[in-house]
Homo-oligomer: A and B are copies of this chain.
């Protein structure tokens, strides 16, 4: 995939919930007809939000101050609420939530292992960058779901991800010890490959090579925008992407 080749092909954004970020807006337009079946989308995002919650749980546990701990609990709550509401949507859709999440368990547990982070600061960077990238991506992809579900899933996935506390703690750490910055910049760059693979795996696969190439062409501008958002997140920490 040539993710960095920029294309523009405007398509009408068709849904009500206003996108919070440019990356979400572009994903909505470009991926509108590439969304997986609803139960697949919900199964993957429901399991993903457990994984992102677990990462935040480790951030709470390893936090070096009571203040950081208690502030991070809010971000953990948000992810748990997202998970529970996505499971609720699966139930409304008459699906067994566990059966729909199970196929995503191995790849997402593997993603978690590879993006785990060696200490508190790396864990925070993982939470900040992978939550931002993946929740933006899936919020955009949600536009391709049946209308009512699209709005509800997008609303859930675009909620506050606790970025403020993650950025605040990371900035503080980098100010206190500038040598941390280069290590975290490297960690941020390492995360992006695994994170993109999770996003790409969500898009409906088509039969022929020509179809696959056509899908890649549609996905390119979305990844370009998601990477631009990733770069802005790194900038917010004063790190080079």
Residues of A whose CB lies within 8 Å of any CB of B are 46-47, 50, 53-54, 57-58, 60-61, 65-67, 69-70, 73-74, 76-77, 80-81, 83-84, 87, 97-98, 101-102, 105
Contacts and interface: CB of A to CB of B under 8 A. Distances in A.
A179 to B, nearest CB: 27
Contacts of A77: 77, 80-81, 84
Nearest to A56: B57
Contacts of A87: 70
Given A47-B66, A66-B98, A67-B98, A73 B60 contact: no
Contacts of A83: 70, 73
Contact of A50 (B70, B84, B102): B70
Nearest to A43: B66
Contact of A66 (B60, B76, B101): B101
Nearest to A79: B73
B70 A98 contact: yes
Contacts of A102: 66
A54 B53 contact: no
Given A58-B61, A73-B84, A74-B84, 13 more contacts: A50-B60, A50-B69, A53-B73, A53-B76, A54-B60, A57-B61, A65-B98, A66-B98, A66-B105, A70-B83, A70-B98, A77-B77, A77-B81
A119 B102 CA distance: 22
Nearest to A47: B66
Contacts of A73: 50, 53, 80, 83-84
A83 B57 CA distance: 14
Nearest to A55: B61
18 contacts: A50-B69, A50-B73, A53-B60, A53-B73, A53-B76, A54-B57, A54-B61, A57-B76, A65-B98, A66-B102, A66-B105, A70-B83, A70-B87, A70-B97, A73-B84, A74-B84, A77-B77, A77-B84
Contacts of A97: 70
Contacts of A76: 53, 57, 76, 80
Contacts of A58: 57, 61
Contacts of A69: 50
A87 B81 CA distance: 19
Contacts of A50: 60, 69-70, 73
